[in-house]
Chains A and B, each alone.
Chain A
Amino acid sequence: MHWVSNVIVALLIVGAAAAARHAARDRFWRENAIQLWRRRGWSLGVVAVYLLIALADSIAWIDPPSEANALTSGRPRTIIDRIFQPETFKEASYSAPLASIAFYGGQPLAHPGRHLLGTDLLGRDVVYRTLKGVRVALLIGGLTSLVVIPIALVFGVGAGYFGRRIDDAVFFAMTVLASVPTLLLLIALIMVLGKGTLQVCIALGVTGWVQFCRIARGETLKLREADYVAAARALGVRDGAIIRRHILPNIAHLIIITFALSFTGLVLSETILSYLGIGLDGSWGQMIDQARNELSRTPVIWWNLAGASLALFVLVLAVNMIADAMRDIADPRTRRELR
């Protein structure tokens, strides 16, 4: 499976480069990007660091078998794995951050003073585990948004633009979904689909598209009556072209903002799923879930919780701040004041 994620990484990099090139050429996107950079350069930097970590954890390859790597031979290892070498870089059990002796028993550690955030019950380095969680978090947020946004756009814009029966059908679907408790539906879906990254993303997507669909529908309903849409009709433009050229560009800012906001919501909801025992392996949610028992020990074992929570908190804060800035930029009223 490792080559699949390698291909996806390559595609993502190519796609991002193409998007960046398009944005740099188009004045509208370029100006907005500059505005965003000026206001939220820090947050963008933080998100970039997370992205780099996730990328480093997605590119994997298998070493040719040899004496030196007998422990890992045959298994693909990512760049992060190669840096931390979890096969050897581990202790017997808990150890405090930067400690040189084990937490229980006081035995000397194999790597004294080198575990920046200590080790967990199984002696694994907490920094390593936290960094591994980045990829899972971005996968959940990103992949689910990729499921949600197209569904919501097709249904929302279709319902708003064509109205009547399509609108009725979409509204019915939304109402039905909204009448089932989200958490219950999530659990049921994961029970049916099974555990796994893709399954959890689909489950989150199925329950999460309603809100964005509503926004897209409302906005399309408004834009459908816009004078420039009437003008386009009077020029003989087809419905498809009107949606593509006049409606979608005018809700693009909404799409991006919703993407950013739903992203953080999804990352957080994975934590809740982990709490219920149906989260993803290696996620921050699981680390936090395990930390429940550790908090009741004396002296308290806080580093597991701290590592995962801090990483989660910083990511969610940075993305939310970017979304907030994007909303300001997209709204001409708040934008003009700052010019």
Chain B
Amino acid sequence: MSAPLLSVEGLSIAFPGEDGPVRVVDRLDLSIAAGETLALVGESGCGKSMTALAIMRLVPKPGRIETGAHIRFDGRDLLALSVPEMRAVRGASIGMIFQEPMTSLNPVATVGDQVLEAIELHADVSRKAARDRVIELFGLVGIPDARRRYGAYPHQLSGGLKQRVMIAMAMAMRPRLLIADEPTTALDATIRAQILDLIRDLSARTGTAVLLITHDFGVVNEVADRVAVMYAGQIVEEGTRVELLGRPRHPYTQGLLRSIPLAEARGRRLEEIPGIVPRPGHWPAGCRFHERCPHVFAPCVDTEPSRTPLSATHGACCHLVAREAAA
């Protein structure tokens, strides 16, 4: 495999706590190849949104990225860039879509002008050319009657249309990477499918890589090329969609997949993972999942598992997987 478009190495994000800094993301490694869609899956609070913000260097204060991490994008270490250099990367090379289309648009500016802002910021074009580009983009993201919608205010558009505007904004400069933080969570099921189709379609057409953050395996199954499962600030298993959904190896991934309601399992009680997600700063020693794991055995309690490769693309951090692989 050639050099990935984005590679995150040893990313730790800490917030100050009562007894010193508390990590919410812990030595995370991640990579995305050009044009690829990686789904980052995990429960609420596992650090997936923070990881996305860290790539943009937008971790909210007082949180900070600990030294020693590298975020290489397109040959440059984003963490070493100056503030103006980083600003040039945001929006131009990396676009981002947020979870809440309802509140992610400025209520007192027309949607057209807001997309225009994105273009004028990074491209030296005339107002007229930028305006035409906005209307073209609106067409591209499937906003009907784009010319008229240019002057619409956010409250005049539906949630689905607003998310399309957000996508137009993020894709305005044809970024090489699009970070989508739960882009469909706030939308209806029917709109959700449309938006996912749109993201998949745009990514295929423009060659944009996508980092899709979600907790929904339905979404994963629909758009992802590769999947990374996150638990307590770390990636516990990653692999291609087929590998991970077809043969999940980490007990946490297995548990997550079993807890999806399925049509053929109607009437049966839905399986759940016992216990709760440990809070950052209260992660157990050893394997962080051991307190909730049905297969827990001796080394899990005190030794942190390392990544066991299962194929060129598949790997899991689990003592059980390591033992089975060794056997």
Measuring CB to CB, which residues of chain A are less than 8 angstroms from any residue of chain B?
27-28, 226-228, 230-238, 241, 245-246, 249-250, 252
In the complex formed, the residue of B with least CB distance to A163 is B61
Residue of A with least CB distance to B86: A236
CB-contact partner of A234 in B90, B100, B105, B117, under 8 A: B90
Q: How far is the CB of A232 from chain B (nearest CB, A)?
A: 8
Q: State A157–B241 Cα separation when bound (angstroms).
A: 48
Among the 9-residue stretches B91-99, B136-144, B281-289, B294-302, the one with 4 or more Cβ atoms under 8 Å from chain A is: B91-99
User: Which residues in A have their C-beta under 8 angstroms from that of B58?
Assistant: 230, 233-234
Cβ of B75: which chain A residues have Cβ within 8 Å of it?
none
B217 at the interface (CB under 8 A from A): no
* 10 more A-B residue pairs beyond the given contacts A28-B108, A236-B92, A236-B121, with a C-beta to C-beta distance below 8 A: A28-B153, A227-B104, A228-B107, A235-B117, A235-B118, A235-B170, A236-B91, A236-B122, A238-B87, A250-B108
Task: Write out the residue numbers on chain A whose beta carbons fall within 8 Å of the beta carbon of B104.
Answer: 227-228, 230-231
Contact A249 B108 (CB under 8 A): yes
Q: Are A231 and B108 in contact (CB under 8 A)?
A: no
* Interface check B21, CB cutoff 8 A: no
Among candidates B96, B105, B153, residue contacting A228 with C-beta atoms closer than 8 Å: B105
Across the A-B interface, the 6 shortest Cβ-Cβ residue pairs:
A236-B90, A235-B91, A236-B91, A234-B96, A227-B103, A227-B104
Per the bound structure, the CA–CA distance linking A230 and B97 in Å amounts to 10
**Which among A226, A231, A252 is the interface contact of B169 at CB below 8 angstroms?**
A231
Interface residue range, chain B = 20 to 34
Closest Cβ of chain A to B174, distance in Å, is: 14
Do A27 and B121 form a contact, CB below 8 Å, given A228-B104, A238-B87, A250-B108? no
Asked if B16 is at the interface of the complex by the 8 Å CB criterion, the answer is no
CA distance A273 to B56 in the complex (A): 56
Docked-complex contact B122 and A231, CB < 8 angstroms: no
Q: In the bound complex, what is the Cα–Cα distance between A232 and B89 (angstroms)?
A: 13
Q: B106–A250 contact, CB under 8 A? A: yes
* Contact A236 B106, CB 8 Å, known A231-B98, A245-B117: no
* Chain A binding surface, main DSSP class: helix
Q: What distance in Å separates the Cβ of B309 from its nearest Cβ neighbour in chain A?
A: 34
Q: Could you show 26 A-B contacts with beta carbons less than 8 Å apart?
A: A27-B153, A28-B108, A28-B153, A228-B103, A228-B104, A228-B106, A228-B107, A230-B98, A230-B104, A231-B96, A231-B98, A231-B105, A231-B169, A235-B121, A235-B169, A235-B170, A236-B86, A236-B121, A236-B122, A237-B87, A237-B91, A238-B87, A246-B109, A249-B108, A250-B106, A250-B107
Contact B151 A27 (CB under 8 A): yes
* Contact partners of A236 in chain B: CB under 8 A: 86-92, 121-122
B166 on interface, CB distance cutoff 8 Å: yes
B90 closest partner in A (C-beta) = A236
Closest to B152 in A: A27
A231 to B151 CA separation, bound complex (whole angstroms): 20
With both chains docked as a complex, state the minimum distance between the C-beta of A221 and any C-beta of chain B, in angstroms: 13
Q: Which residues of A contact B107 (CB under 8 A)?
A: 228, 250
User: Is A246 a contact partner of B169 (Cβ separation < 8 A)?
Assistant: no
Tell whether, in the assembled complex, residue B153 and residue A227 are in contact, meaning their CB atoms are under 8 Å apart: no
Inside 8 A of B88's CB, which chain A residues have their CB? 236
A34 to chain B, nearest CB (A): 16
Assess whether A234 is in contact with B56, with CB atoms less than 8 Å apart: yes
Q: Closest Cβ of chain A: how far from B82's Cβ, in Å?
A: 13
With a cutoff of 8 Å between Cβ atoms, the chain A residues found around residue B122 in the complex are: 236
Neighbouring B residues of A27 by C-beta, 8 Å: 151, 153
Please, which residue of chain B has its CB at the minimum distance from the CB of A235? B91
For residue A234, which residues in chain B have a CB less than 8 angstroms away from its CB? Answer: 56, 58, 90-91, 95-96, 98, 170
Taking CB atoms, residues of chain A closer than 8 Å to B103 are: 226-228
Contacts of B169 in A (CB 8 A): 231, 235
Q: How far is the CB of A145 from chain B (nearest CB, A)?
A: 22
Residues of B with C-beta under 8 A to A249: 106, 108-109
Which B101-150 residues have a C-beta within 8 angstroms of A? Answer: 103-109, 117-118, 121-122
In angstroms, how far is the closest chain B Cβ from the Cβ of A173?
24
